Structure 1
Amino acid sequence: MQKLLGSGALSRFRVVDLSQVRAGPTCVKQFADFGADVIKVEPPASVPRGELYVGARDGADMQNLHRNKRSITLNLKSPRAKQVLEPLLRTADVVVENFRPDVKDRLGLDYKTLSAINPRVILVSISGFGQEGPYRDRPGFDQVIQGMCGLMSATGTPEGPPTRTGASVIDVGAGLYAALGAMTALLEREQSGKGQWVQCSLLHVGVGLMDYQAARYLVEGDVAARMGNEHPTSMPTSAYPTADGFINIGAGGDDMWRRLCRAFGQPELADDPDFLTDPDRVRNRERLNGLLGEHFRSATTAQWMSRLADADVPCGPIYTMDQVFADPQVQHSRIAAPVVHPRRGEIRLVDQVVKLTRTPAHIVSTLEDKGGSNDEVLGELGLSAETIAELRSEQVI
């Protein structure tokens, strides 16, 4: 696969991707979509345990996470791996890994070792619980962290059990925070000329994603409880049943509340003493929801969407995934990007979320076959064809 030189905002950078599963690849995807030369280092087929994949190689998850990357194979445990890895690391701007901390040290991929090889390199380490502390050696897993950061205790209905979210928000959040850290380090390097170690843990990310719920506890001592679809401090913000489904309403704030009442044809409801202010509506949410439920059941979701849009009240339907990609705004925004897979033909992937007007991101290739760029990349590093053949015969690559 040809490098994406000149095709994006980050084309001058080389990223070595040593990561697995979801958080690390999500981080690296931010670089790959904007044209960085991303080299994914994978274990050869001769390594028994191999890499921790997310589904089949040609499957949706792997294709979405690993587009726009070149692939080489390398047995990091082999003594001869250094013959490939060290020249590669000398050319790297960023190295991304999400091994457990002790694995990184054993493989000689710790920051002290890497910086001795390349003082300008930025090492990004994503871990479950951090590089230090009593939990440093524990494996990190999205759902486990959802429980430990408070997210599951605040998700679900009041009478129901703690509930995970419907997507891997901790892993994805960690990848995005790590990418932000790496890009900040690259920006700082323009002044200092030096690399540094960027660290990100799933636990810290999870607490960070709790945002106002975490702040409510730290500042006010309020412990978040499960509220179903309702907002803990601003009402009416919830999902309400309509004549043919459900509708989400975000009418927090007194002005929006008054607009909602006018859309109902009952402006006087805004002056009810129980509903005058947000704290009043939160305190009297049971009576409020009873009244709103009667109103919303009187018409379909589409009818309410039209009325509330005219009244400038935030609202929206509750979609299944097929309905998401059928929505005219989603289609207009080209959120599903087409790309050609060598075996599956044209498939669609979730396009890069961040839009740049002058140097936009592009999805130009699917996940390459394992080791598809071995000869190309190793040749760039100065290894002869004879040496490459020798490494292959010894199952180093």
Structure 2
Amino acid sequence: MAEPSEPRPDVQESAPGAAPLAGIRVVDLSKILAGPYVTMSLADMGADVIKVEHPDGGDPTRKWGPPFNGPDATYYLAANRNKRSVTLDLKSPEGQEAVHRLIETADVVVENFKPGSSLAEVFSYEQLSARYPELVVLHISAFGDSGPLRLEPGYDMVAQAAAGLMSLTGETDGPPVKAGFAMADLSAALFGLIGLTAALVERGRTGRGQYVTTSLYETQLALHVSWATAFFATRERPHRLGSGHPNLVPYQAYPAADGDLVIAVGNQATWRRLCRVLGRDDLPEDPRFLANADRVVNRKALNAELESALALRTVEEWCALLSAADVPVTPIRTLDEIYASEQTGALEMIGTVDHPVVGALEQIRFPVSFSGRRPPLRTPPPLLGEHSRDVLAEAGYDDAEIDRLLAPADPTTEGKTP
């Protein structure tokens, strides 16, 4: 076993009860969802996140509405709490120099510049690492850093289509459908967060930063999981199954007398209990439905039998009976029901933070607890440029320099060379 390394002299241990990333500073050069969700997660865990935005409108999601809540769209408000906003024009020499002044005291930079763009070149890892060897940089792209699609831009739905999710989502005889959540953006955010925090752990051992990359495309492939191994074994193209499972039956949504519910059977004992509650003790003895493999092959016939039985009672009645028999079951709940539910309340997953314009702003809280404590909602999603003066003063600019940096661009001289 390797000897434990000595702690770095410049790293202070966190006080008991402190946020796990307290003392980490992040410069957030990203926009839209994947990058901002990473940096919000870092901020939730205690990092000081400085969100750098263009003076003309800032993060585009500020305008992705309706709905709006105050000056910003609710889409923006979903992924930017606990950050500070500073406005800088990254294409100007002065703005670029200001960003470097911020990076001088930073541990992490997160960016999603389009590969091949001027900003990707100006803030390339080669340039940054030469000046800041301890810096960890996370780059999120649409299709990765190599291959024929590496220079393509991408949005969540494009990635869902390109990486297969839409081909697997929807009813068997219906069109392809995107997932209800932004699965491509959010999977890239979560894998990026994992890679970034791993790089910080390694930096704690070695003192060296590194370049962490992921993409909407790569992370979708990682989530294929059993779909991929099934294809590698059979070379058969999978098809859409609605809410059904490719390897388990019954395991999907079914209609009852007044709505839909989900039943999930993962073993033979549960299968027999389900049939007993449904009053269909004959089904487990039917040669078509003996084992799970038989039920998968004869899915259509079995579902017809189950739907006939389930049509006799309401969702509430079936959920009570099946739950009492230890059969996994649930109604298909809507967001208003979920947010008002006792389970959500018990987990304290919804909190409020005081917004300077709209007042109490509800947010879904970070879904991980540390020693029984959920990270707090410290500050609301910032107004555009709300913290510019404070952040730039911390970077060593005086009042006159800050005034020049924050002065509106003159449209008559913009783009002209002096």
Q: If the TM-score is normalised by the length of the shorter chain, which range does it land in?
A: over 0.9
2:273 matched residue in structure 1: 259
2:105 matched residue in structure 1: 91
The alignment's C-alpha RMSD in Å is: 1.9
Deviations 1:213-251 (A, max 9, x none): 122112332322011111111100111111110000111
1:298 matched residue in structure 2: 312
Report if the CA contact (8 A) 2:274-2:322 is conserved.
Answer: yes
1:349 matched residue in structure 2: 363
Shift in Å, 1:347: 2.2
1:31 matched residue in structure 2: 42
Shift in Å, 1:106: 5.1
Report if the CA contact (8 A) 2:58-2:384 is conserved.
Answer: no
Give the 3-state SS of the residue equivalent to 2:309 in structure 1. helix
2:287 is the counterpart of 1:234 = no
- What amino acid maps onto 2:51 in structure 1? K
- What amino acid maps onto 2:391 in structure 1? V
Cα pair distance change 1:106/1:318, threshold 3 Å: closer
Report if the CA contact (8 A) 2:361-2:380 is conserved.
Answer: no
- What amino acid maps onto 1:91 in structure 2? T
> 4+ runs of 1 displaced by more than 6 Å?
none
**TM-score, structure 1 as length reference:** 0.93
Q: How does 1:242-253 map to 2 (within 5 A)?
A: 242-253=256-267
Report if the CA contact (8 A) 2:34-2:188 is conserved.
Answer: yes
Report if the CA contact (8 A) 1:8-1:359 is conserved.
Answer: no
1:60 matched residue in structure 2: 74
Cα pair distance change 1:382/1:212, threshold 3 Å: same
Q: How does 1:49-128 map to 2 (within 5 A)?
A: 51-53=59-61, 55=64, 58-103=72-117, 107-128=121-142
Report if the CA contact (8 A) 1:104-1:110 is conserved.
Answer: no
Cα pair distance change 1:364/1:105, threshold 3 Å: closer
2:179 matched residue in structure 1: 165
Distance (whole Å) between structure 2 residues aligned to residue 271 and residue 145 of structure 1: 45
Distance (whole Å) between structure 1 residues aligned to residue 106 and residue 380 of structure 2: 22
Report if the CA contact (8 A) 1:274-1:280 is conserved.
Answer: yes
2:23 matched residue in structure 1: 12
Cα pair distance change 1:378/1:112, threshold 3 Å: same
Q: How does 1:275-354 map to 2 (within 5 A)?
A: 275-354=289-368
Cα pair distance change 1:205/1:211, threshold 3 Å: same
Deviates more, 1:163-172 or 1:96-105: 96-105
Q: Percent identity?
A: 38
**TM-score, structure 2 as length reference:** 0.89
1:361 matched residue in structure 2: 375
Report if the CA contact (8 A) 1:76-1:107 is conserved.
Answer: no
Shift in Å, 1:141: 1.1
- What amino acid maps onto 2:42 in structure 1? F
2:12 matched residue in structure 1: none
Shift in Å, 1:327: 2.1
Cα pair distance change 1:312/1:352, threshold 3 Å: same
Partner residue of 1:205 out of 209, 219, 223: 219
Distance (whole Å) between structure 2 residues aligned to residue 343 and residue 387 of structure 1: 29
Q: Which has the higher contact order (CA 8 A, sep 6+)?
A: 1
- What amino acid maps onto 1:246 in structure 2? D
Give the 3-state SS of the residue equivalent to 1:102 in structure 2. coil
Distance (whole Å) between structure 1 residues aligned to residue 372 and residue 297 of structure 2: 49
- What amino acid maps onto 1:36 in structure 2? A
Report if the CA contact (8 A) 1:305-1:315 is conserved.
Answer: yes
Deviates more, 1:99-108 or 1:181-190: 99-108
Shift in Å, 1:105: 5.3
